[in-house]
């Protein structure tokens, strides 16, 4: 799929992740969107397996439990449903490595802050906010480069995987190693809001 | 099934899509209908597979999140249930390519605007409104022509598939390449309302 | 099953359909019944497959969306649960061809109008009210005749199937070809109410 | 199971049915019990298959729709949950033939009327109140006799099955052939209430 | 599992049952616990099969329908959730024979009455309160003796199984044959409350 | 997985457990987190099997039923949802042995008390608060030592398993044998609160 290119940062809630499949690495987009509601509901689409759905549930809980850190008023969760989608619908997706991408997507939607341009990320999250290492790093990095990514966020524990890749392959990429979700969000979310932000 | 012909645009919520099956291309109809309700409910029928059901869920969320763009008052979603049906019930259907057809159907139901006559469409949607390319383009186009379709909406990324079809086969068809759902709705929905529109 | 005979029209909500099974055609009865309720609920019994259940859901939505046409006050749907049953419980049933029978049954229950005597019907419905052709027409017609049926409602698109049956087999039967559900209901429901109608 | 004997009529809601299994006929007991509640709930236990569960759902709807006939105030259904159990829990049970037994059990619970002593019954029900014939009649009748039953209710359409049984086997049994549920209840329920009836 | 010993009667809601497994008889504990709640909820844990879960549902309904007999105020069921657990979680358990143990456990929780010391029991229950015989009696009795049990409650219909066991094996055990749940509760529940009873 | 090291006690709700898998023993972390809510909800993630999910449900019920013992106001359960996660999401986990780890995690979250440093634990729980022995003790102990654990809580009934391990392997470890959950919590929870405790 040669069409998988970085697609800019004009939308709140759209974050670029990295996936590792049978046919190599590729980028994927995590999209989130809010709609007004009475009961708090989390909708997940994109042909997601159970582990990936759990990542979204953990991401949502992390944001709820750390709303203050992001200046999100916590009555907002009662008033808005969250829908997370990972295109493309025909392709089954699974695994925990989209965790940090999902948490960043939700944080962007609830703050309407822009995501840093040309940034991609991969890493599992835990409920307390740890970022765990994931597999397929080499393939993912090559895909990121092809897709015009400049900055990549990874778990500190994946540094050793980058150190094993030939210098040449990673030229032009900057790696940002993190220990916890706060570091991810501090780097990934700009202070600038998207154009025409919704009023929460 | 020689009976699959374009059937006019007298009803709100009825939009012509294009499907690609084991036996070739064919047209299909996406129908949506509203009923008064207390809780917001989305009912899906027509022997739809999981991916196709997800398309409907994404379409619904897109319309909710972009209600203002379509001059839909957003308290309307609390008051009306949406039912989407894809005849014929005996035939299993799946895949993401009815996404733009579904979003157009829901938009037509909530605005009671007529759908452009002799129009068919195929394309996957994403939550932020991107229109993604789909497969089976040649077979779908031939089916559209047999069914008396004049205008076809496709993802910009499916242009290359049209360019590969012999001139002769597509005579009389006009292709409308789009990047996002807004372009689909701008072209597909007429300003004119259907006869006897329901009051929302 | 020699006992499958037309059983009269004394009850609201009981409509005779035609089924096509491995052992030939036969008549079946669709029964619907209302009970007072707080939440609107649709209960389906009779060992129905998923496609047949969807027919009932579509039929219910059609009646809700066209309540005015039948002089049904639309607050009635909040106050009454609908139960649809297709005897006999030991026999699995499926397929979309009971659609018009179901919509007629529900309409009869909500209006308490009698169903035309000695009438049977078969046809798939769509959400906008189209009546689609179904299979097994010859076998169904023979079963109808054995069961003492006089009038049969079919999709206009099934006329060609009747034209292929020998004159002799269909003597005494009158066929009513329809394009949409309104035509079905106009013919199938008498203005006369059943004895002891319930007050809706 | 030599212990399966008729067990008297002291409890409301306990009705004797007839089952036909791989090892012959036997009697079974349908028990129903009420408990105060906010939402109307129907609980089914006893290792029941889907068809037998549907019989219970149909029975419940019949009673709701015909409450007046039994002098049951219809606000009673909002205030009481119904639980139907068929001992013994280790034995899977299925089929529609307990329908009339279930409807009699529920009617007895809601009226607290005694069930006629030494009575057993078997027959499928439909939503409009028809009683349909069932299979295994000879085996069921022999089991009834062994269990000290005197009166048996059957569908009129099962009369031919009784006529085929040797006179000798059915001596001492009286058969009551019925067409509809009203006839079942008229015969099966005594006017006398059980001791210590609950106040509905 | 040599550790399965009778464990005293200090807790409300803990009752000793007898199980019969592939490797012989053993004792098991049914535990129930209450927590304040808005909606009445029954939670079941302990790797229970469907038949055993149904026993718990029947037990709960019996207690609700016979609250007065136990001096339980019936508004208590709206205010407290019931959780029933059968250790040990790794071992699948099924069958109806824990019925009387479950009903005794729930009754003890709702009355906070102590359970008679050194008592075990086995028997299926029905909704009207009958206690049915169960299998594996010999193996269960031997396990009870090893576990320091003195009194055993059984269905009257299991007396014949005890009569077949050698005198020697059952020395020191007293058998209490019952016909219905009332007899079980009359014997099993002491009038004394547990220490620090919860206020219902 | 050489990265599995004890990770400190700065977070409320994070407790170190011991697991026994096909490839040997290892430590795992049970994390719990609270979020404000209307209905009491328990969310479980981490690829947990049914038995492990039941452990969490039992742990939650134990805390609710013993809130007073921990100075937890019991209206707190209506106001906060609990989410329990066990990293890592890609690895399926099951079995009852995380019971005491889960109950300690929930207790720490609801009290915001710190967990004793360098402590790990393994043991099944029952509803009344018993701590049952579990398997794989030797492998678990070796993993604990590698991970820098100093104190280990076990069921009293697992003492015999420790006695069989060579002195040398367990040098530097202190074992704390318990009979019930109260003893676990008394030892595992410090009186000190975490930094920046949330206000319950
Ligand atoms: Ca791709
Ligand atoms: Ca991974
Ligand atoms: Ca077709
Ligand atoms: Ca496609
Ligand atoms: Ca038949
Ligand atoms: Ca058909
Ligand atoms: Ca039996
Ligand atoms: Ca039968
Ligand atoms: Ca054991
Ligand atoms: Ca048993
Ligand atoms: Ca690990
Ligand atoms: Ca274990």
| Residues 166 through 195 of chain D touching chain C, CB cutoff 8 Å | none
Which residues in D lie closer than 8 A to residue E126 (C-beta atoms)? 29, 31, 85, 87
Shortest CA distance to E87 belongs to which of E69, E101, E71?
E101
Predicted confidence at residue D1, as pLDDT, reads 45
Query: What residues contact A74, with CB distance under 8 A and at least 6 apart?
Result: A64, A67, A68, F36
- Token output for B29: 């109809």
| Average pLDDT for A64-87 | 94
Q: Which position has the token pair 């929930």?
A: F106
Inter-chain residue contact D51 with C90, CB threshold 8 Å: yes
pLDDT beyond 90 at B101: yes
List active site positions of D: 97, 140
Its ipTM equals 0.94
pLDDT beyond 90 at C148: yes
User: d(Cα F80, Cα F110) in Å, to the nearest integer?
Assistant: 9
Query: What residues contact F89, with CB distance under 8 A and at least 6 apart?
Result: A51, A54, A55, A58, A95, A96, A99, A124, F45, F46, F47
Q: Tell me the per-residue pLDDT of D143-158, one tens digit each, with 9 for 90 and over.
A: 999 999 999 999 999 9
Domain range annotation of chain D? 14-190
Q: Tell me the per-residue pLDDT of D126-147, one tens digit each, with 9 for 90 and over.
A: 999 999 999 999 999 999 999 9
Band of pLDDT at residue D23, cut at 50, 70 and 90: confident
Q: Rounded mean pLDDT of chain E?
A: 95
Q: Tell me the per-residue pLDDT of E148-175, one tens digit each, with 9 for 90 and over.
A: 999 999 999 999 999 999 999 999 999 9
> Ligand 1 centroid vs F24 CA: distance in angstroms?
38
Band of pLDDT at residue B4, cut at 50, 70 and 90: confident
Q: Tell me the per-residue pLDDT of D54-93, one tens digit each, with 9 for 90 and over.
A: 999 999 999 999 999 999 998 899 999 999 999 999 999 9
CATH architecture of C14-188: 2-Layer Sandwich (3.30)
Q: Mark whether B and A touch (3+ CB pairs within 8 Å).
A: yes
Band of pLDDT at residue B1, cut at 50, 70 and 90: very low
Predicted confidence at residue A4, as pLDDT, reads 82
* HEC readout, E110-161: HHCEEECCCEEECCEECCCCEEECCCCHHHHHHHHHHCCCCEEEEEHHHHHH
CB of B110 within 8 Å of any CB in chain C?
A: no
Cβ-contact B86, B60 below 8 angstroms? no
Q: Tell me the per-residue pLDDT of C69-98, one tens digit each, with 9 for 90 and over.
A: 999 998 899 999 999 999 999 999 999 999
| Average pLDDT for B115-128 | 98
Q: What's the CATH number for E14-193?
A: 3.30.230.10
**Which of C32, C36, C47 is facing D51, going by the closest CB pair?**
C47
- Strands annotated E in chain F: 14-21, 24-36, 42-45, 80-85, 113-115, 119-121, 124-125, 131-132, 151-155, 174-178, 189-193
> Ligand 8 centroid vs D133 CA: distance in angstroms?
8
**Which of B13, B32, B89 is facing C54, going by the closest CB pair?**
B89
Which residues in E lie closer than 8 A to residue F157 (C-beta atoms)? 3
pLDDT beyond 60 at F5: yes
Predicted confidence at residue F3, as pLDDT, reads 58
| Average pLDDT for B171-181 | 97
pLDDT beyond 80 at B171: yes
Lowest mean pLDDT among A62-66, B71-75, B100-104: B71-75
**Which of C3, C85, C90 is facing D58, going by the closest CB pair?**
C85
Predicted confidence at residue B3, as pLDDT, reads 58
User: d(Cα F13, Cα F7) in Å, to the nearest integer?
Assistant: 13
Predicted confidence at residue B96, as pLDDT, reads 98
Which of C69, C73, C124, C126 should one mutate to test binding to chain B, selecting the residue with the greatest count of B CBs within 10 A? Answer: C126
Contacts made by residues D167-176, CB under 8 angstroms, sequence distance 24+ = D169/D138, D169/D141, D169/D142, D169/D145, D170/D141, D170/D145, D172/D145, D173/D141, D173/D144, D173/D145, D173/D149, D174/D150, D176/D151, D176/D152
User: d(Cα F135, Cα F138) in Å, to the nearest integer?
Assistant: 9
| Residues 73 through 102 of chain F touching chain A, CB cutoff 8 Å | 83, 85, 87-90
A90: helix, strand or coil: coil
Q: Which residues pair with B113 in a beta bridge?
A: B193
Predicted confidence at residue F190, as pLDDT, reads 98
List active site positions of A: 97, 140
Which residues in C lie closer than 8 A to residue D50 (C-beta atoms)? 47
Inter-chain residue contact E29 with F55, CB threshold 8 Å: no
A39: helix, strand or coil: coil
- Token output for D124: 């499928």
| Average pLDDT for F56-83 | 95
pLDDT beyond 70 at A182: yes
User: d(Cα F86, Cα E198) in Å, to the nearest integer?
Assistant: 33
- Strands annotated E in D42-188: 42-45, 80-85, 113-115, 119-121, 124-125, 131-132, 151-155, 174-178
Q: Which position has the token pair 């790797």?
A: E47
pLDDT beyond 60 at E104: yes
Band of pLDDT at residue A3, cut at 50, 70 and 90: low
Query: Which CATH fold would you assign to the domain D14-190?
Result: Ribosomal Protein S5; domain 2 (3.30.230)
Residues F185, F191, F194, F199: what is their CA dihedral angle, to the nearest 10 degrees? 90
> Ligand 6 centroid vs C123 CA: distance in angstroms?
8
Which of C1, C42, C45 should one mutate to test binding to chain D, selecting the residue with the greatest count of D CBs within 10 A? Answer: C45
Which of D89, D102, D110, D115 should one mutate to test binding to chain E, selecting the residue with the greatest count of E CBs within 10 A? Answer: D89
| Ligand that lies nearest to the alpha carbon of residue E25, given by its number in the listed order | 9
DSSP for B52-85, please give it: HHHHHHHHHHHHHHTTGGGT--TTHHHHEEEEEE
Q: Tell me the per-residue pLDDT of E10-55, one tens digit each, with 9 for 90 and over.
A: 999 999 999 998 888 999 999 999 999 877 899 999 999 999 999 9
Lowest mean pLDDT among C18-22, D116-120, E94-98: C18-22
Q: Tell me the per-residue pLDDT of B187-198, one tens digit each, with 9 for 90 and over.
A: 999 999 999 999
User: d(Cα A113, Cα A116) in Å, to the nearest integer?
Assistant: 9
With a pLDDT cut of 70, the percent of chain D lying above it is 98
- Token output for F56: 């969490």
Predicted confidence at residue D3, as pLDDT, reads 58
Query: Which CATH fold would you assign to the domain B14-189?
Result: Ribosomal Protein S5; domain 2 (3.30.230)
Task: Say whether B160 is catalytic.
Answer: no
DSSP letter, residue A99: H
Q: What angle do CA D70, D75, D76 make, to 5 degrees?
A: 65
With a pLDDT cut of 90, the percent of chain F lying above it is 92
Distances (CA, A) of A84 to A31, A60, F47, F192: 6, 10, 20, 39
pLDDT beyond 50 at F1: no
Residues F139, F144, F147, F149: what is their CA dihedral angle, to the nearest 10 degrees? -170
| Average pLDDT for F103-128 | 98
Helix A99-111 × helix A50-65 angle, to 10°: 40
| Average pLDDT for E70-95 | 94
Greatest Cα pair distance, chain F, in angstroms, is 53
Half-sphere exposure of E146 (CA within 13 A, CB side): 16
Cβ-contact B153, B129 below 8 angstroms? no
Inter-chain residue contact C124 with B14, CB threshold 8 Å: no
CB of F55 within 8 Å of any CB in chain E?
A: yes
Q: Tell me the per-residue pLDDT of D160-174, one tens digit each, with 9 for 90 and over.
A: 999 999 999 999 999
Band of pLDDT at residue C1, cut at 50, 70 and 90: very low
Task: Say whether F140 is catalytic.
Answer: yes
Predicted confidence at residue C194, as pLDDT, reads 97
Q: Mark whether A and F touch (3+ CB pairs within 8 Å).
A: yes
Cβ-contact D56, D42 below 8 angstroms? yes
Shortest CA distance to B59 belongs to which of A45, A142, E2?
A45
CA distance B29 to chain C (A): 10
Residue B50: is it exposed, middle or buried by C-beta count within 10 angstroms (0-12/13-18/19+)? exposed
Touching partners of B (3+ C-beta pairs < 8 Å): A, C
**Which of E50, E51, E127 is facing D85, going by the closest CB pair?**
E127
């Amino acid at each position: 799929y040669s069409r998988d290119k970085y697609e800019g940062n004009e939308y709140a809630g759209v974050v670029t992740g990295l996936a590792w499949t049978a046919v190599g690495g590729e980028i994927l987009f995590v999209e989130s969107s809010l709609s007004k509601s009475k009961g708090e509901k989390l909708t997940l689409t994109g042909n997601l397996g159970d582990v990936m759905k759990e990542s979204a549930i953990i991401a949502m809980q992390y944001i709820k439990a750390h709303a203050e850190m992001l200046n999100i008023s916590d009555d907002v969760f009662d008033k808005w449903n969250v829908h997370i989608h990972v295109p493309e619908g025909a392709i089954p997706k699974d695994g925990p490595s989209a965790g940090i991408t999902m948490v960043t997507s939700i944080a962007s939607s609830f703050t309407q802050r822009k995501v840093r341009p040309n940034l991609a990320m991969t890493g599992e999250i835990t409920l307390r906010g740890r970022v765990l290492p994931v597999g397929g790093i080499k393939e993912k990095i090559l895909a990121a480069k092809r897709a015009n990514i400049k900055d990549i966020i990874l778990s500190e524990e994946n540094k050793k995987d980058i150190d094993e890749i030939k210098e040449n392959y990673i030229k032009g990429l900057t790696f940002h190693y993190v220990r916890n979700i706060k570091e991810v969000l501090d780097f990934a979310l700009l202070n600038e809001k998207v154009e025409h932000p919704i009023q929460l």
